[in-house]
Amino acid sequence: MRKVLSIILLVTLAISIVGFGYANQEDNSESDEKPVIKEADVSQDKGLSSLKPGKNEVRYISEGEEIVANLYLPEDYTEGEKRPAIVINPPATGVKEQTIGVYAEKLSHKGFVTLAFDPRGFGESEGHPQLQNPYRVTEDIKNSVSFIRTLKEVDVDNVFSIGMCAGSGYATYAAAFDSRIKAVAIVSPFLTSADDYFQAFGGSANLRKMLMPAAAKARQQYYETGEDIMTKIVPETEEEMKRARPITIGMREYYLPGKPGDVPNWKNGLSLMSTDAILSFSIFDFTNMFDTVPVYVVYGDQAITAEGAERFYQEINGPKDKLVIEGSGHFELYWMPEYVDPAVVGISQFLESNINK
């Protein structure tokens, strides 16, 4: 049954290019006031001029464009310490105020310096608006690692990575090819592959006939006019609901107004020019690169994405562990404390066990 649901999910995602942006709620208990730190503010001793315990807004460059992120310094941090650090990237289309902000804050309470960032084109970061490109996000992850390693508060030998949902594929891809990332954890991973799309559409001929023309039209229009074509991520109207599949209907309970993921910086849209990059990316093409990369996998036993998460776990041969949360679906792991808290404990313990002394 789960296999059938997975195929339905893939068809839904590919036809409309929706369902990649699973984002989450930010814990709003903290103060909204925070210093804004730019990369240019890094001093000669590689510290930021006004970092404080708690949340700090930081800005740095990724391939010539500005990334905006929230950096969480542990509340018990004392001057002169060097703490292990975690770079956290969001679900596709997600922003730092959603689920990665929840995990970043909670993991900072476990003693890590954490960084939750808006990938280029999303939230407050610069770049082509709403363009979801796995390879570009991967570069943002690597440049986020570069930035966090400049901080005097960070132990540069112990930098880790976390990815959420579709972002799990990007985080693991970055970890596979960047040896500065010592271990990676993934939460509610949605791990797409070219083979899955070929199966859902019955081969590349149908992909070219049914899906690629809209993306090609968008690319040509953008070249000629500078105007992009967007598609919705989450169905909003009754008519859109009629065409929606269970996973996208489930997304309504997180993203829409008044729901946990309803934050000002998130937009219900995705550039159709994202199509070719999304279709070409599959972390399953690189499972042979994890022989010495520690990986921690967290997913809910009721999640529609559980099969892909377990497949990835089984295909990698390096040091690994997993946490299957009973009763949790895909989205519950974004924000519900009864599911998030044990995930945070498991992640922190796994990463701590991989700290280079």
For 10-68, the pLDDT digits (tens) are 444 444 443 333 333 334 334 444 555 665 454 333 445 579 999 999 999 999 999 99
- Which is more confidently placed, 165 or 8? 165
Secondary structure of residue 108 in the 3-state scheme: helix
Q: Tell how strand 65-73 and strand 36-38 pair up.
A: unpaired
Alpha helix segments (H runs only) across 229-269: 238-243, 246-255
Please tell me the distance from the alpha carbon of residue 4 to that of residue 17, in angstroms, as a whole number: 19
Indicate the CATH number for domain 2-352.
3.40.50.1820
Q: What is the pLDDT of residue 153?
A: 96
pTM attached to this predicted model: 0.87
The least confident of 166-180, 191-205, 337-351 is 191-205
What is the average pLDDT across 196-222?
Answer: 88
pLDDT band, very low/low/confident/very high, at 200 (cuts 50, 70, 90) = confident
* Beta strands per DSSP E along 172-307: 181-187, 230-231, 270-271, 295-300
Nearest Cα residue to 342 out of 103, 182, 72? 103
Other Cβ atoms within 10 Å of 57 Cβ, number: 15
- What pLDDT score does 253 carry? 84
Do residues 3 and 307 lie in contact, with contact meaning Cβ atoms separated by under 8 Å? yes
Helix (H) / strand (E) element for 329: namely none
Query: 10 Å Cβ neighbour count for 199?
Result: 14
In the numeric block, which tokens belong to residue 147? 């930035």
**Residue length, the chain?**
357
State residue 230's pLDDT score.
95
Give buried/exposed letters for 203-229 (b at 16+ CB in 10 A, else e). Answer: eeeebeeebeebbeebbeebeeeeebe
- The pLDDT of residue 8 is above 70: no
Which H/E stretch holds residue 222?
A: helix 212-225
